[in-house]
Structure 1
Amino acid sequence: MSFYTSLTGLKNAQTDLGVISHNIANAETSGFKKSRTNFADIVAVSILTDPSLTTGIGSRVASITQEMSLGPIEQTGNALDVAINGEGLFTTKAPLSGTTQFTRAGSFSVDGNGFITNASSNRLQLFPVNAAGVITSTTSTVDALVPATNAAGADFAGVSVNDDGAVIASYADGSNTSIGVIALADFIAPNGLKQIGNSNWEATGISGAPTYGQPSTSQYGTLLSGAVERSNVDISEELVGLITAQRYFQANAKAIDTATQISQTIINLRT
């Protein structure tokens, strides 16, 4: 029994090492959120078991949770680099599948078709606005599309994002046009979001459905233009965790070695 009990500890240590290694590998990934391994003990009892003589039979991984705390903000000067100072995630859509994805990595650019996209080529989602720049709907979103020319026929000259999320396109004749307001998403249980890579998440039944809002309103954070949010991984903390996980693995391996020696001693009693 002691062999299998220690084996669960070895497997847990391997899982912990994997999670910590993943965190360290993404220490420089913009918008990345570190994970933490949570363990639970395993106890097998019946109605006839004496509670004072109950012996545990090992441990298991209870969950691997994401820590959604804010990472350091890095100034870049790029007008389409946007960081969220507070709650919320950017909403994007994959152009081919139409899948809605969420991210904290706010490094955007304008593609050849005029769409504002992230590194995964997903299109940033905006609340639609009227000619005066007033939001017309907060229940639906549209792709962020920058017209190549304005109503007067002037060519596109640049784009910027205001603190309130308004995306402003500038044209060669000196005019400015609001193409929409960035839609931030929030969840009842953000730890339940499904990681799909590239600092993107998808909603699940655990996270609940997203609620959308404008930056700087209610629980939604403010936007910082010309900046990106770095990974919230603390290298020093992870290295200490790495040492702890290594000791955890060694201790369980030593327990197996000790159990082997005891078994060998018992066997040798007959010889």
Structure 2
Amino acid sequence: MSFNISLSGLNAAQKDLDVTSNNISNANTYGFKESRAEFADVYASSIFSNPKTKVGDGAVTSSVAQQFHQGAMQFTNNTFDLAINGNGFFALSSDVNSSDLVYTRAGNFKLNKDNYVVDNQGNYLKVFPVNPDGTSASAALSTAQSLQVPDSVGTPLATSKVNINLNLPAGDSGYDVTKFDPKDSSTYNNATSVTVYDSLGQSHTMTTYYVKDAAAAAPNTWAAFAFVDGQPTSIANAGAPPYTYTDAGGTSYNGYQLNFDTSGQPGTPPTVPSTITTAALGSVLTNGADANQTIDINYQNQTQYADAFTVNSIDQDGLTVGRLTGVEVGADGLVRASYSNGTTEPLGRVTMVRFANEQGLSQAGNTDWKASTESGDPLAGEAGTGTFGNIRSGALESSNVDLTQELVDLISAQRNFQANSRAIDVANTLQQNILQIR
């Protein structure tokens, strides 16, 4: 009996050594969670035995329990290095559209050849779909999709509106509007330009020229003319009678009038609306873009003060095709891509998963776990909500192994192994003595 008892002790000590050695070997493995060997005594009895004199039958390994406490943060310069500060797991799939998921705390992700975010084994990181404003469209695990980072925004957006906020100098001298020539700066007072885009994303320069009308009955009257890529563009709602510009070929183009009162504010009523619209730009757009494109020029708080010509703001709503310039992941898991055209696009929200019993998860290797009947079903959610932790981009969670404690455990397991070996040796000596009795 003593042989079996000591042998069970040897097996338990060996299991303890194995678990401790595995912890030590993974001390530098990202997302690794240490294990702890847990033992129980073996006690067998029957109704015919005396419990007061019954001796136990040794030790047995009852569980190798994973310890899911937080590991230290290691900061990096890689946006796709993600760490969870708190509870939760990342969800991964082996195929782009697979619903067979594994779960991990190791966030050392990267882009594959198709611009999908994957781990070192090629598993795809799952995210929840989001609306254009970044709000979550769904937080159900069944709707999670693989995260892909596109390298362009896609369809360009033609300019439909230009907003201008400016001051025209009240002290400027007037000119003869009929002699206006955009190539001769002595025939106009000021000009301002803005880049606009056609339906194909091609950029064009829209220039607006301002001429103070010396012949106008009201002293605070200005003529304005719009040009795109140096070609005159007629104004569709210029009012009557409009100012006109005639090119060298004899074609006339409508300009428009800006009038101000004695306080430097737009006249009441203004000669033309605060928003004026160009005619179709077909004669300018020769690259196959939409020939019916028009642009609204919207004047916002224009003034005529005794100050220099000042453009307080000028912007437009068109976009060219953008190229990827960067990706950022927020603490709430929202992934945003930035593009060269100045736009940002939400790509998804990193899927977070938790379990009622983390220690019931089945190890799948490569610091991955799978759900089991003991762990319970995966509960999905968003980072920073409920009991889910936050996500830190540019950081990795190190192993939670405490090397000092592991070395102490190693010594303790070694002593236990030696003690059980000694017990076997003593039992063997006693049996030898008995066999030698004559």
TM-score range, shorter chain: over 0.9
Which residue of 357, 368, 371 maps to 1:200?
368
What is residue 121 of structure 2 aligned with on the other side? 120
Q: Partners in 2 of 1:157 and 1:195 — Cα distance?
A: 38
What is residue 103 of structure 1 aligned with on the other side? 104
Which residue of 361, 381, 392 maps to 1:213?
381
What is residue 264 of structure 2 aligned with on the other side? none
Shift of 1:77: 2.2
What is residue 250 of structure 1 aligned with on the other side? 418
In percent, how many aligned pairs have the same letter? 41
Q: 1:134 to 1:144 in 2, by over 3 A?
A: same
Shift of 1:48: 2.0
SS in structure 1 at match of 2:13: helix
Q: Partners in 2 of 1:77 and 1:114 — Cα distance?
A: 19
Summarize the alignment of residues 43-192 of structure 1 with structure 2, pairs less than 5 Å apart.
43-95=43-95, 98=98, 99-139=100-140, 140-151=143-154, 152=156, 153-192=321-360
Q: Partners in 2 of 1:133 and 1:30 — Cα distance?
A: 30
Q: Partners in 1 of 2:116 and 2:373 — Cα distance?
A: 30
Unaligned 5+ residue runs, structure 1? Answer: none
Asked if the contact 2:97–2:145 (Cα under 8 Å) also holds between the matched residues in 1, the reply is no
SS in structure 2 at match of 1:201: strand
Query: What TM-score comes out, normalization by structure 1 length?
Result: 0.97
SS in structure 2 at match of 1:51: coil
Summarize the alignment of residues 222-261 of structure 1 with structure 2, pairs less than 5 Å apart.
222-261=390-429
SS in structure 1 at match of 2:52: helix
Shift of 1:96: 7.2
Q: 1:96 to 1:12 in 2, by over 3 A?
A: farther
Shift of 1:204: 0.7
SS in structure 2 at match of 1:138: coil
Q: Partners in 1 of 2:63 and 2:97 — Cα distance?
A: 30
Structure 2 residue identity aligned to 1:39: F
Q: Partners in 1 of 2:78 and 2:133 — Cα distance?
A: 26
Shift of 1:157: 2.2
What is residue 35 of structure 1 aligned with on the other side? 35
Q: Partners in 2 of 1:235 and 1:263 — Cα distance?
A: 42
Asked if the contact 2:97–2:146 (Cα under 8 Å) also holds between the matched residues in 1, the reply is no
Q: Deviations over 1:44-98 (max 9, x none)?
A: 1001221111111111000000000000001112111111110000111111793
Structure 1 residue identity aligned to 2:39: F
Structure 1 residue identity aligned to 2:134: G
Structure 2 residue identity aligned to 1:155: R
Q: Deviations over 1:150-173 (max 9, x none)?
A: 133322222110111100112121
Q: Partners in 1 of 2:145 and 2:332 — Cα distance?
A: 17
Q: Partners in 2 of 1:97 and 1:127 — Cα distance?
A: 13
Q: Partners in 2 of 1:194 and 1:96 — Cα distance?
A: 23
Cα RMSD of the aligned pairs, angstroms, is 1.2
**Shift >6 Å, 4+ stretches:** none
Structure 1 residue identity aligned to 2:103: F
Q: Partners in 1 of 2:367 and 2:420 — Cα distance?
A: 34
What is residue 265 of structure 1 aligned with on the other side? 433
Q: Partners in 2 of 1:223 and 1:137 — Cα distance?
A: 19
Q: Deviations over 1:167-187 (max 9, x none)?
A: 011212121100110110000
SS in structure 2 at match of 1:53: coil
Q: Partners in 2 of 1:166 and 1:137 — Cα distance?
A: 13
Q: Partners in 2 of 1:97 and 1:199 — Cα distance?
A: 22
Unaligned 5+ residue runs, structure 2? Answer: 157-320
Structure 1 residue identity aligned to 2:437: L
Structure 2 residue identity aligned to 1:177: E
SS in structure 2 at match of 1:52: coil
Greater shift after overlay, 234-243 or 72-81?
Answer: 72-81
Q: Partners in 2 of 1:260 and 1:45 — Cα distance?
A: 26
Shift of 1:109: 1.1
Q: Partners in 1 of 2:334 and 2:96 — Cα distance?
A: 26
Q: 1:224 to 1:12 in 2, by over 3 A?
A: same
Total equivalences in the alignment: 270
SS in structure 2 at match of 1:13: helix
Query: What TM-score comes out, normalization by structure 2 length?
Result: 0.60
Q: Partners in 1 of 2:72 and 2:106 — Cα distance?
A: 12
